[in-house]
Amino acid sequence: MFRDKQGNVHIHFGGVTGLVVGLLLLAWLVFLSAYTVPAGFVGVVTRFGAVQRIVQPGFGIKIPLVEDVVKMDVRTQKDQTDATADSIDLQAVTSTIAVNYNLDPQYASQVYSSVGTDYADILIAPAIQNIFKATTAQFTAEQLIDQREAVRSKAEASLKSQLAQYHVIVLNFNIVNFNFSDQFNQAIEAKQVAQQQVETAKQLLAKAQVDAQTAVAQAQGQADAQKALKDAGSLTPEYLEFLAIQKWNGSLPSVVTGGATPFIDLSQFINSTGK
């Protein structure tokens, strides 16, 4: 902008354009120098591709056009994988494995340098497959069912050890299911039915033994009681006659008519008691 000899004001648009362009360029550089890292992530700052440092969640400043910020997820993540293996007795087994894990934040730059941002696909999924196969091969098919918690615990310990060297923390390892061939499932079902039949037979035998022992005890008790009465002299004629009457079936005894007065013979009752 300048005045001519007549005092008129003239504007030099070339200078104004340059100023505007400079301001826009400065604003653009300021914009490029700012970054934000969301919660649940850490930032790996690189300079011309080389890792420089780790920055925490929040707002920060970097060197524009020189530095970049790569966001690494350090939240708890879940990886669910279908795995196939063979038991020690060569039974094919398939399973769905669910693993919860997270990246150790303080080693995020090392993981980025050695593996990259796709560490889950590169490290987690193959490790799950390998650990499942190695662990399953140590058990029979029936043990995989009966000792499921032991299988899970063993596999979890192995996976933790393997991924720890890559700074991945395994929180838990879960076996969602075990699937076997139809032939094996039928064999297991038949075995369970047979075992149930054996248990039922054992129960019936035990009941029969108890009933037999009870009958023997009752008979022995009755014999002991009668012996005690006999030894004590309590089997008097009157008591034996009472026992005979107790055994009467309702039929009249034989009658002897020796005159006008009938006579009832009770000797059959007394004799029946052993008098």
The two tokens of residue 244 are 């005979």
**Residue 32: predicted pLDDT:** 83
Q: Which amino acid is at 85?
A: A
Q: Where are the beta strands (DSSP E) in the chain?
A: 2-3, 9-10, 34-37, 41-47, 50-55, 58-61, 67-73, 77-86, 92-103, 168-180, 255-257, 262-264
What are residue 236's phi and psi, to 5 degrees?
Answer: -80, 160
**Residue 228: predicted pLDDT:** 64
For the chain, report the end-to-end CA distance as a whole number of angstroms: 157
Residues of the chain with pLDDT under 50: 2, 193, 269, 272-275
Q: Which amino acid is at 105?
A: P
Structural contact between residues 99 and 130, judged by C-beta atoms closer than 8 angstroms = no
Domain boundaries, the chain: 2-73, 77-180, 237-272
We find that the CATH architecture of domain 77-180 is 2-Layer Sandwich (3.30)
Predicted TM-score of the model (pTM): 0.58
**Residue 202: predicted pLDDT:** 73
The two tokens of residue 12 are 């030099």
**Nearest to 151, CA basis, from 176, 125, 117:** 176
**Residue 253: predicted pLDDT:** 58
The two tokens of residue 162 are 């393997």
pLDDT, one tens digit per residue, over 164-180 is: 999 999 999 999 888 88
**Residue 275: predicted pLDDT:** 46
The Cβ-side half-sphere exposure at 56, using a 13 Å CA radius, reads 1
**Nearest to 131, CA basis, from 148, 154, 109, 114:** 154
Q: What is the signed CA dihedral for 176, 179, 185, 187, rounded to 10 degrees?
A: -100
